[in-house]
Structure 1
Amino acid sequence: MKTRRWFCSFLLFLAGLLVAMGCSQGLDSVKNIDAGVGEQVIVLGDSIASGYGVAETEAFPNVLSRQLGLPIVNKGVAGDTTAMGLNRLQEDVISENPWLVIVELGGNDYLRKVPVAETEENLREIITQIQQQGAIVVLLGINPSLLNDPYKEMFEKVAQETQAYLIPQIFTGVLNNPKHRQDDVIHPNAVGHEVLASRVAEDLRPLLKDAKWPASLMKYKSSTN
């Protein structure tokens, strides 16, 4: 009996070790995690990032900034598709000398019935151009439908092949929960933005812990742990 308990405990320990190793390897594969260049954390997004229907301070990038104790520049523009985000990438993101960029785009592609292949191509180009500046890209997996996720595999594929850091299916528990969304069903309310920001913060902390920080942001590093 003791031998059996010891063996079960060993298996649990081994499983935990393998999970930890897997997480570590995943972080190691994130492009530019050791670059430590740039000066800004920026959110490139659409009406979700801009805070449509809620106060500016209640939009998830601003809530996330408070939760992490880290300045975040909000470049959300209501109505933006991935193509529109790509068009303003140079002016709104690259010219700002980013260290880490959170990309929250794709919902309007879905609403406008943009072909998934086109959305994928735009996201790849956005990520590649940001990474060429030495910045880290965090890709938020958009799951716009309440019934299914037509983008799940596409976001996973893009993140893996570009070595971006994926936070998957960010709207689960937000847009499919009437308490967390506005009456239009496609935008979070203030509570939903809090939920969304907390989810992003939780998944970001391991990355922020392992990443090489630029000198300009080092004073904020301890607050993100």
Structure 2
Amino acid sequence: MVFALVLSVIDCRSSSKRDYFDTSFQCFAEPGWRDDSNFKKYIEKAWIPTRLLYAEENLRIKRTDTVFAGDSLVHLFLPDLMAKEFPGQSVTNRGIGGDMTETLLTRMEEDILILHPEKIVIEIGGNDFIQGKCLSLVQNNLLAIIQKIHSKNRNTKVFLIAVPPTRVKELNQIVPVFNLFLNQVARTTTNVEYIEVWDSMRKIDAPTLREEFIRPNGDSLHFNEKGYELWGKKLRPYLQK
């Protein structure tokens, strides 16, 4: 399974490499992961096989109204959950566990834009920060993704979902900064909307994931079905327009 592989090769224990508030922290501006051998393993064993499946599906369905794109949080929005949250709508999931802004950018045309969607929902960035990517690099990649979408069709609606809280302290420190950027991009860019979920999914008095959204088995990065119900509630008014 893609998620099992991704979790096995992403090292979430080395906090100094992703603690943006550590005085010794140095952001990572290179392609891929800090551990290049594991990144190559991920690309070969998870990213490429998933894209091949998507290519086959795209040939079959040819067109869809809405595409969800992003990392494992999108990928785990399973078909039955999507059908429940968006009944009767043409919604297609093109998330890949482990995806970063740079890898999503490289596959936008073949995986997503080829379906000529009217709306694209994007949740991305968490894996960049796991790797300690430079914030400016992640921001520029996100802008390039939007530019690529609108260069294809300037009328395509783009919905940027806030990166939600996790149970990883270092991510919960930097993610709100990125979410502020996403909000600003939406406020200053035509046909881009920001969907706030951080505040709804965090503990009332702490910047961490609320207990009701925690998945079993010690998963500190993802959330459970209740989280997707919240996403559905937030997104339905936009996708039904």
Question: Normalising by structure 2, what TM-score?
Answer: 0.60
What is the Cα deviation at residue 180 of structure 1?
1.0
Select the residue among 193, 197, 220 that pairs with 1:165: 193
Give the SS at the match of 1:151.
helix
Partner of residue 155, structure 1: 182
What is the Cα deviation at residue 168 of structure 1?
2.3
Partner of residue 224, structure 2: 189
Deviation string, structure 1 residues 117-152 (Cα, Å, up to 9, x no partner): 111111111111112222111111214444671213
Partner of residue 11, structure 1: none
> Which is higher, the Rg of structure 1 or of structure 2?
1
Q: What amino acid is the match of 2:80?
A: T
What is the Cα deviation at residue 158 of structure 1?
2.1
After TM superposition, the structure 1 = structure 2 runs for residues 136-147 of structure 1, keeping only pairs within 5 Å, are 136-144=157-165, 145-146=171-172
What is the Cα deviation at residue 187 of structure 1?
0.5
Establish whether residue 179 from structure 1 lines up as the match of residue 206 from structure 2.
no
Partner of residue 92, structure 2: 73
What is the Cα deviation at residue 81 of structure 1?
0.4
Q: Structure 1 residues 171, 184: closer, same or farther in 2, change over 3 A? A: farther
Q: Counterparts of 1:89 and 1:114 in 2: how far apart (Å)?
A: 20
State the structure with bigger RCO (CA 8 A, min sep 6), 1 or 2: 1
Q: Counterparts of 1:110 and 1:133 in 2: how far apart (Å)?
A: 28
Q: Structure 1 residues 110, 62: closer, same or farther in 2, change over 3 A? A: farther
Segments of structure 1 that go 5 or more residues without pairing to the other structure are: 1-37, 210-225
Question: Normalising by structure 1, what TM-score?
Answer: 0.64
Give the SS at the match of 2:177.
coil
Deviation string, structure 1 residues 157-183 (Cα, Å, up to 9, x no partner): 222333211112447326611221213
Q: Counterparts of 1:117 and 1:65 in 2: how far apart (Å)?
A: 34
- When the two chains are superposed, the root-mean-square deviation of aligned CA atoms in Å is 2.4
Partner of residue 38, structure 2: none
Partner of residue 50, structure 1: 75
What is the Cα deviation at residue 56 of structure 1?
4.7
After TM superposition, the structure 1 = structure 2 runs for residues 26-45 of structure 1, keeping only pairs within 5 Å, are 39-45=64-70
Q: What amino acid is the match of 1:158?
A: V
Q: Counterparts of 1:42 and 1:57 in 2: how far apart (Å)?
A: 15
Moved more, 40-49 or 171-180: 171-180
The percent of aligned pairs where both chains have the same amino acid is: 23
**Paired residues, number:** 163
Q: Structure 1 residues 199, 181: closer, same or farther in 2, change over 3 A? A: farther
Deviation string, structure 1 residues 46-70 (Cα, Å, up to 9, x no partner): 1011118xx6523xx444323xx31
What is the Cα deviation at residue 155 of structure 1?
0.9
After TM superposition, the structure 1 = structure 2 runs for residues 130-141 of structure 1, keeping only pairs within 5 Å, are 130-134=149-153, 135-141=156-162
